[in-house]
């Protein structure tokens, strides 16, 4: 409808193309998603210029497609460009910059450049803690990213308190909003995984999970019910 009414290069078309590409990505149809994302990127470049925040957003999304299809060199170049645009647009200490840093770090992690990835993850965590507060869900995501990296480098002792803090943030978000945070189940599974790797017995894992839910503000019955629903 937008394309018909306003033409194939109207800026309003770019978000529609982006959203359609996102849907295709969720079903691993990356070959179909890529041309849509590239088209959205080119529309925004022509409409707003090379250094507009919208261009950084499209670059990050395109970088994800390239990463998922193992074109790591091209993805990395695109991610660094998105970071430069975001830094220029918003300043260094902005959540959009943290997103770019996390994207680069996860690419570096996927290509086994773990010690290059780690400082970027720490910086993304610092930015989001400062900009959004220490209990924001984005902080939880940064902590989770660090946990996955620490697992790969066999630093389980550092994983446990980070994963615990990450999960506590998600539990508090769930209680505040009145419905489970979209990443809560993954958080619970991640915490279980870490504790199992530390040779913690299953009954003790359940005790720790229920205790954490109660620390987040759930009563005993609510904590048990929530955790049962996530199993």
pLDDT of residue 12: 82
Q: Which CATH number fits domain 1-94: 3.10.105.10, 3.20.20.100, 2.160.10.10, 1.25.40.10?
A: 1.25.40.10
* Mean pLDDT for the chain overall: 94
Q: What is the pTM of this model?
A: 0.91
- Name the DSSP letter for residue 216: H
Query: Which residues, including other chains, have CB under 8 Å from residue 64's CB and lie 6 or more apart?
Result: 25, 75, 103
Q: What's residue 11's pLDDT? A: 79
pLDDT (tens digit per residue) in 129-151: 999 999 999 999 999 999 999 99
CB 105 within 8 A of CB 145: yes
Between CA 162 and CA 146 the distance in angstroms is 8
pLDDT tier at 8 (50, 70, 90 boundaries)?
low
Which pLDDT value is given to residue 231? 79
What distance in Å separates the CA atoms of residue 175 and residue 120, rounded to the nearest whole number? 31
For CATH 1.25.40.10, list the domain ranges present in the chain: 1-94
pLDDT score of 3: 55
pLDDT of residue 134: 97
* Among 159, 131, 132, 157, residue whose Cα is nearest residue 145: 159
pLDDT tens digit string along 60-106? 999 999 999 999 999 999 999 999 999 999 999 999 999 999 999 99
DSSP alpha helix (H) spans, the chain:
2-6, 13-26, 30-48, 53-68, 72-90, 95-110, 114-132, 137-152, 156-177, 184-197, 202-216, 220-229
């Amino acid at each position: 409808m937008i394309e018909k009414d306003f033409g194939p290069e109207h800026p309003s078309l770019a978000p529609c193309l982006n959203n359609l590409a996102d849907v295709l990505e969720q079903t691993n149809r990356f070959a179909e998603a890529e041309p849509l994302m590239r088209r959205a990127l080119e529309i925004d470049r022509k409409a707003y210029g090379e250094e507009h925040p919208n261009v950084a957003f499209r670059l990050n999304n395109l970088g994800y497609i390239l990463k998922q299809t193992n074109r790591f060199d091209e993805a990395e170049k695109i991610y660094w460009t998105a970071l430069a645009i975001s830094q220029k647009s918003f300043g260094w200490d902005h959540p959009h910059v943290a997103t770019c840093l996390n994207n680069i770090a996860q690419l570096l992690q996927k290509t086994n450049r773990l010690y290059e990835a780690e400082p970027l993850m720490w910086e993304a965590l610092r930015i989001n803690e400062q900009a959004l507060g220490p209990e924001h869900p984005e902080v939880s995501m940064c902590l989770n990213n660090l946990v996955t990296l620490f697992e790969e480098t066999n630093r389980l002792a550092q994983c446990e308190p980070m994963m615990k803090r990450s999960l506590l943030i998600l539990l508090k978000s769930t209680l505040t909003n009145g419905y489970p945070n979209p990443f809560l189940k993954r958080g619970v599974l991640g915490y279980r995984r870490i504790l199992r790797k530390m040779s913690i017995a299953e009954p003790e894992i359940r005790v720790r999970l229920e205790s954490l839910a109660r620390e987040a503000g759930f009563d005993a019955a609510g904590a048990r019910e929530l955790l049962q629903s996530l199993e």
